[in-house]
Structure 1
């Protein structure tokens, strides 16, 4: 799409919209997933789209690009539709931006191809009988015992297992009394502080609390263990003077300059918690020390140029005085492209405007016919349902075996060949387990 058409389309969209139509404006638009990021605020759509790299969200909640329409990258291939044997996987791409995306190769927005996670499907196995019980886990009172079985009657196939557990547990009673080990009671209340104030620059006084080894007390027969640790706890006293002074905000500063030189950006203001500042454990000011808002610089942002598709190759030309038509002598050909859409001092396209390539002139040449190699398999069509196929073919073409290169795309012109006895051959195979339409 040339620049004039794109500009007219943008203007058409803006005419359809109310001049005052507002939207959430974002400084980031991801062409990989169509998500807006870094919210700038609510502004007019035409102001937001001064920068073609921005995106906006209207009441429908859908993120839209301010730039020209362009395809996203293809997504990763999806998982196979079945976990074993024949299935398909798919990948997609989206068209984001203003206008329609070009599709000269008719690739569409979805591609489907066969896949196979594994060539066999799992078959569950069967359990053997339970083994003997293992010894009880304790030597006194009540514990647990275990027994096991194996998934081997028959063995599972293709990565499967047996349903159920390979181990079973049950309680067991040794009928032997266990010793009772001592346990601490809860801590008592903190005693009075050993002072009434804290000296500045020194540690504050201490306070104490106690606990006893009575929850439960250790048994005598059989002898239980005493409690481990200390029966006394101490800590510094808190809450003593100095008295706290809570902080309070000072005035807001002037707004900073807008963060951009074109389109929508941010401006901010700051304030300090110093009127007064908090002291001696006083509370810090509630709220934010900085606030931001959107700002608009009504200047057009740069729009970088983009290449058009390559033109068709020009006719194959000789490199010197030697004739090349119908000879095994290579020539040269060219094709061109244009850098379009550059506006407002945007970047020029990277790369060359002219492409040169080797070629052979076979226009009108008398050549033998042959069947080409099989083409690569096509993607599955349609992309859903139970009636999907893929195809490949080989066709009648000129025999170029005498040339030093075997790429038919390097040969220019239409030769005279007789395809009467060489018909196009086509192979078709079914694609299985596609998603439902």
Structure 2
């Protein structure tokens, strides 16, 4: 059974994972219950899976956003009145005070305003500021149809100029405030074509199996939405075969892992056998994994052994292999190269490849990595490579 699936005890039960019970990650801590001094905050987690989880579902801890609560301060004396804010017509003068007599504590504030203003007249003529002229004609709509039910319509624009009057130059007047462009929706365009879209798949048969995951036939309707306003029909099949989960585990037979590496070739007596015609033994292991729900245990043995000669790091005469086949080109286009090689392989001594065991004749294998010795080729004694260009490749884009 796939543990990534879940199941329900009945239709109204919550969804449960098909694995042993375990806690979900903790939620983030909630906000502190007070804004100053000491309060509390909590976090929680959910038990997911089959069975009960050990430990707490909810944790609560103390919290403090501020070590003190705000205290109001007192105002200083007002400053002298400022100069008039404008150089023509009527402006304002102002004075200020500071909240520092005493200063507030813990982010407190003073009650009242920190600024007072009074009018002032400069007795000077002000410049003429610009004013907008009439709007021009409406442009064409931005597109020719609107999507039914979207509430989004095409728009059209019109423009105006700052010339009624234009701003003065001496004294310098301000340009017009606002935008020279106005837009509105085009609500009299027709609805756009609506292509059909498939609705959700619905089961049309029972699951093909009584345990684990099987297949089920499903159908769907072209109604989400149905084609309207000369739109296209739905594309694709209206029926399909898909997987279904019976929420009942099927027996799972065990499977052997790959064999592990062979152990070092040795004798139980500890006799020296490396680089000698003395038979030792080596072993490898594997595991039976995945057996569950009364499935079968793996057939065969978890341990394998064989007779061996220990040739690890043994100096041996070697011989060069013939040239290998040419390798693949280094690039699919432009300039590219390919390589072939020869290797110096060891010539093993003529030890018997079978020996008489206690109860049977057994095969003997050479174990370990020897050190072969070949006559050097181009200064190389173990591997020599040859490289050539790949011809007639296409140009790279």
Q: TM-score band, normalised by the shorter chain?
A: 0.3 to 0.5
TM-score by length of 1: 0.34
Task: Please say which structure displays the higher CA radius of gyration.
Answer: 2
TM-score by length of 2: 0.37
- Normalized per residue, the structure richer in helix is 1
Q: Which has the higher contact order (CA 8 A, sep 6+)?
A: 1
